Amino acid sequence: MRMNRVRRVTSPLKSLIAVAALAVVASCSTQADDTEFEAVVAVDVDNPALFAGYIDFETVVAGDLTFDSPYDYYILPTDGGEESLIRAKSPSGDDLALIVLRWNGQGWTRVAANDNCSSTGFDPCLTLTFDEGFYAVLVGTTDYLARRGDPRASYTLRVARVEPTIPTLDEGDMCGGQIRGVCADGLYCDYPDNECGAADVPGLCQRRPDACTQIFEPVCACGAIGTFPNACEAAAAGFDQAPCGFPPPGEFCGGPDDVQCPSGKSCDLSFYRSCGPELSGECVFKEARTCTTIYDPVCGCDGELYPNDCLRRAELVALDPSLEVKTDASGRDFCASK
């Protein structure tokens, strides 16, 4: 990931971009994802906020806002189709806001705005699916944009691609086999004849038991290491009972033998909250999954930081309990050992 410090640039498009963007900001009322946010600033176009430059996916830029430069905006060219997370963060805890505009061939139109991802902080974020074209990503303080207040702040800004989400299946829905999606929290995939979807035979999403008997009848389970005291305990943990021994080809993956999935499927280890080469997962289709836009970062066993646990699970990655999220001096979050 690249980190760039804002360097004010001179562009032949600067005047056109500035006038069009500022006119939209001055006149529009915007609705944020989680909170009311209205841009009421009227900016003198003879003294516009400076065009800060171009931004690309997976590039982090940093800047400082002042009374002379009360907000920054960046031009994001895109080929379209990318679902992306746009996030601004202030290292000093300033209350920031984001506004995204799109060039329609004649001027800039507002797409979305946000001034708070959650109730626990002041960092704005937006999840958007871009069309082909040019977008302007504007960052400023909520105080300035909404109340003509203090514009001074430091910030980092990042545009990151979000992988397609995996559909969540409800109780009674078919699962496994060739079915695309995963059972919702509190459910598990119950395969017929306890064969773990052999020959792509689907199961049904069933509710996990709340309580089990103490009868000791140990069973193996689909995608799990070792045995459970009984089939009910396996289901309560989210696993269907399975024959003990070597797993059906193409259904299990990983483990000590590093079993690979067939073409088109990926090894799902997302249900683990530990790391290690002994983990055995289930071969699944990596599909779209609906996730919240709330920023509550976690660390995966691949060492990567994910904006929230749902997005980690969408990547089929196990949670690494030995890592925690830390923030560097520039305001960028990263995963590091506890």
Distance CA(234)–CA(229), nearest Å, equals 8
CA atoms of 36 and 328, how far apart (whole Å): 30
Residues 82 and 195 in one domain: no
Q: Is residue 116 part of a domain?
A: yes
Question: How many residues are listed for the chain in this entry?
Answer: 338
CA distance linking residue 185 with residue 171, whole number of Å: 10
Q: What is the DSSP letter of 319?
A: B
Structural contact between residues 202 and 172, judged by C-beta atoms closer than 8 angstroms: no
Assigned domain for 291 exists: no
CB 87 within 8 A of CB 123: yes
DSSP designation for 220: E
User: Are 228 and 111 contained in the same domain?
Assistant: no
Per residue of the chain (338 residues), give pLDDT as tens: 444 444 443 333 333 333 333 333 333 333 333 334 555 444 333 345 557 888 888 788 888 999 888 888 888 888 887 778 898 988 878 889 888 888 888 777 888 888 877 644 568 888 888 888 888 888 888 888 888 889 999 999 988 877 666 788 999 999 887 787 889 989 999 988 777 776 678 889 999 999 888 777 778 887 765 667 789 988 988 889 887 654 444 467 787 777 788 777 888 888 777 888 877 777 777 777 777 778 889 999 999 999 988 888 889 898 898 999 998 888 889 999 98
Same domain for 234 and 134, yes or no, is no
Question: What local confidence, expressed as pLDDT, does residue 38 receive?
Answer: 53
Using DSSP's 3-state secondary structure scheme, residue 289 falls into strand
38 in any annotated domain: yes
Residues 91 and 213 reside in one and the same domain = no
Q: Which domain holds residue 271?
A: 168-284
324 in any annotated domain: yes
Residue 293 lies in a domain: no
Tell me: do 117 and 132 sit in the same domain: yes
Give the β-pairing of 168-169 and 182-183. parallel
| Beta bridge partner(s), residue 109 | 102
- If asked whether residues 7 and 154 sit together in one domain, one would say yes
pLDDT at 325: 92
Q: Are residues 153 and 203 in the same domain?
A: no
pLDDT of residue 164: 60
12 belongs to a structural domain: yes
Q: Give the 3-state secondary structure of residue 40.
A: coil
What pLDDT, on a 0 to 100 scale, did the predictor assign at position 50? 57
**Beta-carbon contacts of residue 280 (< 8 Å; ≥ 6 apart):** 223, 224, 225, 247, 252, 253, 254, 255, 259
Both 133 and 178 in one domain: the answer is no
Same domain, 9 and 107: yes
152 & 183 share domain: no
